[in-house]
A and B are shown apart, each in its own frame.
Chain A
């Protein structure tokens, strides 16, 4: 369970998160929507300690992200996929995926590689195991990014705008994989601009506006006229996004 309590985060004078309370239970597929600058990505980054908290607390299965030792436990439980992929450019696709399992989980090389190959197979990139990231398309890089995250056997998958730097075709190829994962029952928290995708896969939608949670509803209710759409800010956002 991920528990966020009264989370505040400021960058200098700019307060980006103004008191977030949120609990995510295992098995949930949560999408976080909101305009740019609403604090979505910052909140994600706070969950695995890439940003320190200004105040409040976040715990993952009881481990406190603000505690340096417990943070490593949090990070083992939560794997992140990034907007810009952020693969290690000097390592082959296979080594990108196995680096953390070998060095953090202590997996032996042979097993780690075998598992990485299986993961690559599941995203149809088994022929790319030995190339460098520079030789991949954006969509392929992101599929590797997903494999890298899954290789850590995460309890929670954090997706930070994972299709925002991809063209529609590549976006589609990544979304197919995420849908498959969602169906397999992994807990997923995803910051996204893909409204249709969010609607299709998530069972809960959180709408962030100017650093506060404006609505936190089951997906169907969020998109219904007397649910989320009753809130003018959300109705406006959705109509802008073509809903």
Chain B
């Protein structure tokens, strides 16, 4: 009866806000965990820690080269079955996206460390600087500058990837689009709005990213 085609209501706006919040929350949390894990994996690999380095690399190769949707199913259905534990869709989403992000971050970390001129590291060692100081004061700031463009495009990509989590029932922005469409039968209004929301978020990341990039790369500018 009257429940179909009632048009948009203020309720849809609150749904949109809620979905946006969930998408952002999962994106931010999985990015933070992913950066932490990815940097750790990258460093373990860079310093050639035996065995663990190799093992982590095999895992991250799998995460980089298989569909995120498949990983999501493996986590959401596989982990509870294997370990007999309960898992909410949000938990599964955060675990999956964190691991996936970490795999890409690890590669970025390694390649941007390798891009640093090795001779200055030798110079630093010749002055008796410790490996910790070299990592903190020389390797880290320079590899961050090198990695920045890659990190920005990874972040934009991972933001879009969050839309996949709607499949396992997370009420994210995409799922909200789905819900509102089903109620209003207005896909040509709903989906452009949802799409534009992702677009604006991605643009914000790009703008902030390019500012940071400029800031960290200031030293490369010759007069």
Contact B119 A89, beta carbon cutoff 8 Å: no
User: Quick one: given A88-B138, A89-B220, A103-B137, are A80 and B120 in contact (CB under 8 Å)?
Assistant: no
Please report which residues of chain B, range 164-200, place their CB below 8 angstroms from some CB of chain A when the two chains form the complex: none
Which residue on chain B has the smallest CB distance to residue A99?
B137
User: Quick one: given A89-B117, A90-B141, are A134 and B222 in contact (CB under 8 Å)?
Assistant: yes
Which residue on chain B has the smallest CB distance to residue A92?
B219
CA gap between A152 and B220 in the complex, in Å: 26
Q: How far is the CB of A90 from chain B (nearest CB, A)?
A: 4
B-chain residues with CB within 8 Å of residue A80 when the two chains form the complex? 123, 126-127
Q: How far is the CB of B114 from chain A (nearest CB, A)?
A: 16
- Chain B interface helix/strand/loop/mixed: helix
CA gap between A103 and B133 in the complex, in Å: 8
Contact B128 A89, beta carbon cutoff 8 Å: no
B-chain residues with CB within 8 Å of residue A91 when the two chains form the complex? 137, 219
Q: How far is the CB of B200 from chain A (nearest CB, A)?
A: 33
Please report which residues of chain B, range 101-120, place their CB below 8 angstroms from some CB of chain A when the two chains form the complex: 117, 119-120
A-chain residues with CB within 8 Å of residue B117 when the two chains form the complex? 86, 89
How many A-B pairs with Cβ below 8 Å?
78
CA gap between A80 and B125 in the complex, in Å: 10
CA gap between A78 and B128 in the complex, in Å: 10
Q: How far is the CB of B143 from chain A (nearest CB, A)?
A: 10
Does B147 reach chain A (CB closer than 8 Å)? no
Does B75 reach chain A (CB closer than 8 Å)? no
Does B1 reach chain A (CB closer than 8 Å)? no
Does A66 reach chain B (CB closer than 8 Å)? no
Contact B129 A100, beta carbon cutoff 8 Å: yes
Partner of B120, one of A50, A72, A78, A87: A87
Interface mask (B191-223 → A, CB under 8 Å = 1, otherwise 0): 000000000000000000000000000111111
B-chain residues with CB within 8 Å of residue A163 when the two chains form the complex? none
B-chain residues with CB within 8 Å of residue A76 when the two chains form the complex? 128
Does B28 reach chain A (CB closer than 8 Å)? no
Partner of A134, one of B125, B133, B219: B219
Please report which residues of chain A, range 53-112, place their CB below 8 angstroms from some CB of chain B when the two chains form the complex: 72, 75-76, 78-80, 82, 84, 86-91, 99-100, 103-104
CA gap between A86 and B127 in the complex, in Å: 12
Which residue on chain A has the smallest CB distance to residue B141?
A90
Please report which residues of chain A, range 104-161, place their CB below 8 angstroms from some CB of chain B when the two chains form the complex: 104, 132-135, 148-149, 152
18 A–B contacts from the bound complex (CB under 8 Å): A49-B126, A72-B128, A75-B128, A86-B119, A88-B137, A89-B219, A90-B142, A91-B137, A100-B127, A103-B129, A104-B128, A104-B129, A133-B219, A134-B219, A134-B220, A134-B222, A148-B127, A149-B127
**Known A49-B125, A89-B117, A135-B221; further 7 A-B contacts with Cβ < 8 A:** A50-B126, A87-B120, A89-B142, A90-B145, A132-B220, A134-B219, A134-B222
Q: Which residues of B contact A (CB under 8 A)?
A: 117, 119-120, 122-130, 133, 137-138, 141-142, 145, 218-223
- List the 7 shortest-distance A-B pairs measured between CB atoms, nearest first: A75-B128, A100-B127, A86-B123, A132-B219, A90-B219, A86-B119, A80-B126
Q: Which residues of A contact B (CB under 8 A)?
A: 48-50, 72, 75-76, 78-80, 82, 84, 86-91, 99-100, 103-104, 132-135, 148-149, 152
